[in-house]
Amino acid sequence: MYKAQILALACAAFLAGAACTGPAAAAAAQAAPRAEVIHWWTSGGESAAIKELAQAYRAAGGVWVDSAIAGGDQSRAVTINRIVGGNPPTAAQFNTSRQFFDVIEQGMLNNVDEIARAQNWDKLLPEPVVNVIKVDGHYYAVPLNIHMQAWIWYSKAAFQKAGIAKEPATVGEFFAALDKLKAAGIVPLAHGGQAWQETILFTAMLSNLGGKDLYLKVLRDRDQRAIASPAFRNVLLAYKRLQTYVDPRSPGRNWNDATAMVISGRAGMQVMGDWAKGEFMAAKQVAGQQFGCIAGLAPNSPYLIQGDVFVFPKTANAGAVQAQKLLASVVSAPATQLAFSRLKGSIPVRSDVDASRADLCAQKGIAIMKDRTRHLGVSEVYLTPDQNGAMQDVLTAYWNTGMTVDKAQKSIAAALQD
């Protein structure tokens, strides 16, 4: 044992990435906390961001084992199957939502109360985040960042070609800009025709047109009168109107391919979470120069908080527990969160970061987050996976078929009944 420790110390450079071979390398690797991390960050911007986390973990003395699985649904399914099957990863990505509540209820996750207390998460983190990572008084996930899913991204070149001199600041101006882009022969709205992307368009209209009160009455309270109201009907009509601005090839398109349309100027705008910003950055575009970003279409538009977390499956392996603790500490550090978010397109979940190092769009988001009255969760924060899935089925059917607004309204009411 003593010999192995000496060999490991002699090969400390190995952990920092320097060349090291032979028995010393083997001893060092065995002594280092080894973390297998399952995630679905596979696009250009996402891949660059996850490398920041991996490098930070290695710099802290750990060994990072990357398990990337394309697609959130597929990645989560693999994680859960491995946990149930007794072969859990060290950590796994989930969204800041109720996606992992069933795993908590089955007692399959380690809590992270120790680091939550040390960093005072009760006061440091936004309420919509705390409400989904803290269950029965215990924290079960480490939040990495904050995404806002209803950002509007636009091509400066496309706006110039269409004669749009000012970025939209109201829902009316937003539709007027779409009309101008269409008249100029530019695809007005880049969209990937997938159910989750259509839900984003719906929540963008609900938050910007319906406002905070209607948003909460529909999604949090599932208030049947609010769902049946003329105001909610108008939201559904505005949502369906967006369908007239997308191109015929949108069905099945990935979100990052839609973003590429805006990057190239083939499309004018995209409504998508701020993970899209990572694609602009990967294409060497600069916020405020080649592209613009709009957080809301009213001065007090809700900021729909989403994000990514790591959960840590229960294990009897002491080495795995050590790796989990090290990883939790590394990814919750302010410097790591800032470096990750700068490439991921998000903003750090911590409020004590140096905003001056962030880009223009991130600075907008950080400034908005200081106003807690604008904090709202995404639909997955308020709805169970079954409720959210049922609503999403209605929304995508309404988007893609001749379903009437009256039927859509009644179907959503049925989907969200307690």
Digit-coded pLDDT (tens) for 301-322: 999 998 999 999 999 899 999 9
* Cβ proximity of 192 and 254 under 8 Å: yes
Mean pLDDT for the stretch of residues 217-233: 98
Q: Supply the pLDDT for residue 28.
A: 46
* Cβ proximity of 279 and 256 under 8 Å: yes
Mean residue pLDDT across the chain:
90
Q: Is 55 helix (H, G, I), strand (E, B) or coil?
A: helix
Helix crossing, 44-59 with 318-331: angle to 10°?
120
Mean pLDDT for the stretch of residues 128-152: 94
pLDDT band at residue 350 under the 50/70/90 scheme: confident
pLDDT band at residue 105 under the 50/70/90 scheme: very high
- DSSP letter assigned to residue 282: H
Q: Supply the pLDDT for residue 331.
A: 94
* Cβ proximity of 240 and 416 under 8 Å: no
In sequence order, the 6+-apart residues with CB closer than 8 A to the CB of 375 are 126, 127, 128, 302, 303, 305, 369
Residue 387 φ/ψ, nearest 5 degrees: -65, -45
In sequence order, the 6+-apart residues with CB closer than 8 A to the CB of 44 are 256, 278, 279, 282
Handedness of CA 338, 341, 345, 350 (dihedral sign): negative
Mean pLDDT for the stretch of residues 17-40: 67
**Fold agreement between 32-147+307-370 and 151-305+375-415:** yes
* Cβ proximity of 287 and 361 under 8 Å: yes
Query: What is the separation of C-alpha 70 from the centre of its chain, rounded to a whole number of angstroms?
Result: 15
* Cβ proximity of 23 and 14 under 8 Å: no
CATH topology assigned to domain 32-147+307-370: D-Maltodextrin-Binding Protein; domain 2 (3.40.190)
Residue 315 φ/ψ, nearest 5 degrees: -155, 150
Maximum pairwise Cα distance, the chain: 76
Q: Look at residue 155 and tell me whether its pLDDT is greater than 80.
A: yes
Q: Supply the pLDDT for residue 5.
A: 34
Q: Look at residue 61 and tell me whether its pLDDT is greater than 70.
A: yes
Paired with 143 in beta bridges are: 309
* Cβ proximity of 270 and 276 under 8 Å: yes
pLDDT band at residue 18 under the 50/70/90 scheme: very low
- Reading the block at residue 147, the tokens are 């995404």
The pLDDT > 70 percentage for the chain reads 93
* Cβ proximity of 347 and 96 under 8 Å: no
Higher pLDDT, 342 or 178: 178
Q: Is 108 helix (H, G, I), strand (E, B) or coil?
A: coil
34-38, 64-68, 276-280, 387-391: least confidently modelled range: 276-280
Q: Supply the pLDDT for residue 30.
A: 60
Paired with 112 in beta bridges are: none
Q: Look at residue 242 and tell me whether its pLDDT is greater than 90.
A: yes
In sequence order, the 6+-apart residues with CB closer than 8 A to the CB of 251 are 193, 400
User: Amino acid identity, residue 183?
Assistant: A
| CB atoms near residue 292 (< 10 Å) | 17
Q: Supply the pLDDT for residue 22.
A: 56
Q: d(Cα 181, Cα 269) in Å, to the nearest integer? A: 9
Residue whose C-alpha is closest to residue 109's, from 129, 131, 94, 124: 94
* Cβ proximity of 377 and 305 under 8 Å: yes
Domain 151-305+375-415 has CATH 3.30.1490.190: no
Q: d(Cα 353, Cα 231) in Å, to the nearest integer? A: 39
Higher pLDDT, 418 or 113: 113
Higher pLDDT, 178 or 29: 178
Query: Which residue carries 């223009």 as its tokens?
Result: 360
Residue whose C-alpha is closest to residue 99's, from 309, 347, 396: 309
pLDDT band at residue 297 under the 50/70/90 scheme: very high
- H or E segment and range at residue 311: strand 308-311
Q: Look at residue 24 and tell me whether its pLDDT is greater than 60.
A: no
Half-sphere exposure of residue 347: CA atoms within 13 angstroms, side-chain side: 31
21-25, 48-52, 118-122: least confidently modelled range: 21-25
Q: d(Cα 21, Cα 166) in Å, to the nearest integer? A: 60
* Cβ proximity of 354 and 338 under 8 Å: yes
114-128, 175-189, 281-295, 348-362: least confidently modelled range: 348-362
- Beta-strand relationship, 267-272 and 308-311: unpaired
| Domain segments of the chain as ranges | 32-147+307-370, 151-305+375-415
Paired with 342 in beta bridges are: none
Q: Supply the pLDDT for residue 13.
A: 34
pLDDT in tens, 178-214: 999 999 999 999 999 999 999 999 999 999 999 999 9
Q: Which of 15-19, 102-106, 216-220, 367-371 has the highest mean pLDDT?
A: 216-220
Q: d(Cα 237, Cα 240) in Å, to the nearest integer? A: 5
